[in-house]
Structure formats: C-alpha cells, structure tokens
Amino acid sequence: MAYIPKDGRYSGMKYNRCGQSGLMLPAVSLGLWHNYGDVNCYENSRMMIRRAFDLGITHFDLANNYGPPPGAAEETFGRILKDDFKGYRDEMVIATKAGYTMWPGPYGDWGSKKYLTASLDQSLKRLKLEYVDILYHHRPDPETPLEETMTALDLAVRQGKALYAGISNYKPEQAKAAIAILRQLGTPCIIHQARYSMLDRWVEPELLDLLAAEGVGCIAFSPLGKGVLTNRYLNGIPADSRAAGESKFLNPADLKEDLMEKVRMLCEVAGNRGQSLAQMALAWVLRKKAVTSVLIGASKVSQIDDCAGALNCMEFSAEELKVIDTILQS
C-alpha cells in the first residue's frame, strides 16, 4: 500500500532554529547509525522512517560508514526515499558525514579534500539524491590542515552538493578554529554534532557556551547514553538488546551496579514527572538553549513514539534539577 503521510504531522513537533541560520530542525531527530544496514529487516527500517515523519520528525541523520556494512544505511534510506517519499524531499532535512574509515588505502579516511569530495559523491549515489542538506566532517583529523578540511566543506556547498556545513566530535578549541575558517570562506558552520547526555556532560559549559556565542546550533547524539538511560536494562540484559549483541559501543561490563542504581533512581524521578526515563533524559538535554535537537536511535516504532513523547513535558523545576544532579554526582 502506498504511503500517505499523516495530516497534521507538524502540529505535535517543536522546531528550533539552528544557530543563526534560517534552518529549523525538529527537537527530536532520527539517526540511522544502527538498524538500517543489510543485516536489518528492510520493512522495519521503512516503518520507522514512516512513523518518524508522521510525528513531524523531518531530520534524518546518516554517515558514509553507517550500516553494516559501511554505506548500507545510505542505500537503505535511498530506497525508502524512492519507495515512499518521492513527493516529500523538500519537507526533509537529510544529513550525512565523512571522517571515519570508509574504504582501504590512504584516501578513504580522516579529513583530506580528496576523501571528503569522493565520499560525498559516493553518498549521493547511494542516497539517489542531487544534494544533502547538511554535510558534516565526522571527526577532527590530527594530520590534515584544518583549512583543507574546511575548504572541502566549503567546496561541497559551492558545488550545490550540500546546502549547509557542520562539524562533529570537535573539542572547543578545534570547533572555534573550524567555525572561524568557514566563516571566512563564506560558508558558515551552522551546526555541531556532539555526544551529550546525563551520563556524559563534557560539552558543559565550554563547548555549549562557544556555540551559543558563535551562533552555531548543537545537535546531541547518544542523548540516552547508548540506551542506558531507558528502562531497557533495569531488570537485566534483554536478548535482543545492543549490550547482548556484538556491539563494541555497549557491553555487559559497562552496566555496573552503581551505574544501574543511579538509573533506577532517575527512573523514579521520571515516573514522578509522568514520563518514561528516556523522555526525561531527552527533555533534560533539550533544556539547554544551545541545544537545537536531540538525535535518537531506534530499533522499533514504539521507541520512536516514546522519544517523541518527551515534548509533552519539557519543563523542570529547580528542585527536580537539584535532585537529578545529586543522583548523577553520587
């Protein structure tokens, strides 16, 4: 059956301006890091994209190496675009990145102009698109001059292959330098993608203050602490969870009892607010004015529904924030 997006899909979503740019992003965005590769069920991937769009989630975040195997997530998303979203491209913000290992040899990694230019061309072919809305450099390159990397982003925008430039995983000093170079080139950096959650607050306060001062938006990835800030692991490790699989990003050893005790206490605070823990964790990140959007991952439609529900209770009292901080610092 042909997919027809729901009427009124924009009424329940909050949209925030990305820094000082004209681009608006949904408060909740969908990342395709996991669950969109060749090893995943296409129909499940398709249903998640459909549901996200029906909820007003217009921003879809990819990277050249997302899969598995690398490139597979872009291919899957390109197929979904063709199958379901032919007439809706202009209602979507599609982002991709380059910066991690993508192919063998000296030109398939890091931040050279050679690599970024070739990678974007490959990404566009997999996505079956003429342009992406945002192109990120995925991580700083310690060897390539920053000017070369930023010039590659500027070139992509000038060629019309990307509308906006962004950076990811840059520390404050690196971000400040990159932002200055892009501004001088005439292609301002509009967004920084950084890891941020209750369990990982490295962006506070220096990076967030810098981005606010420079007029650059921030989109937080891993806002649920790799899934720890959910009810997923409260009673052990489910067989179908990331920790039970072969993921190198979360394993059972990470779920120490002292951490899980904090998670249980946070879950109680969330319950008193009438929220799931995931909803409170997302609202907590979004409470920062410098944060434009939170980037969620999902393996099933119900998880997207739950995360979008965070927007129903976004305010925190001073007492709630104090209790949360006490739990996190214990």
**pLDDT for 128-172, tens place per residue?**
999 999 999 999 999 999 999 999 999 999 999 999 999 999 999
Backbone phi, psi, residue 164, to 5°? -135, 155
Is the preceding peptide bond at 205 cis, omega within 30 degrees of 0?
yes
What percentage of the chain reaches a pLDDT higher than 90? 92
pLDDT at 185: 98
The CATH T-level fold of domain 15-227+285-312 is TIM Barrel (3.20.20)
**Is pLDDT at 326 greater than 90 in this prediction?**
yes
- pLDDT of amino acid 158: 98
- Per-residue pLDDT, averaged over 303-322, amounts to 98
The pLDDT of 117-134, averaged and rounded, is 98
pLDDT above 90 for 235: no
The number of beta carbons lying within 10 Å of the beta carbon of residue 301 is 16
Residue (of 155, 65, 140) closest to 104 by Cα position: 65
* Residues 161/120, Cβ–Cβ less than 8 Å: yes
Closest CA to 229 of 267, 256, 272, 193: 267
Distances (CA, A) of 194 to 173, 178, 290: 14, 15, 12
> Looking at 129-143, 235-249, 288-302, which range is the least confident one?
235-249
User: Which pTM does this prediction carry?
Assistant: 0.95
pLDDT at 253: 67
Q: Looking at the predicted structure, is the pLDDT value of residue 181 above 70?
A: yes
Give the span between the Cα atoms of 286 and 204, in whole angstroms: 13
From 229, 289, 282, select the one nearest 28 (Cα to Cα): 282
The domains of the chain are located at 15-227+285-312
Q: What pLDDT band is residue 241 in, cutting at 50, 70 and 90?
A: low
Short-list 170, 115, 112, 167, CA closest to 136: 167
Average pLDDT over residues 273-288: 98
- Point out which residues pair with 192 in neighbouring strands: 167, 218
Say if residue 209's pLDDT is above 60. Answer: yes
Residue that has been written with the tokens 């981005």 in this structure:
211
Q: How far is CA 224 from the centre of its chain?
A: 11
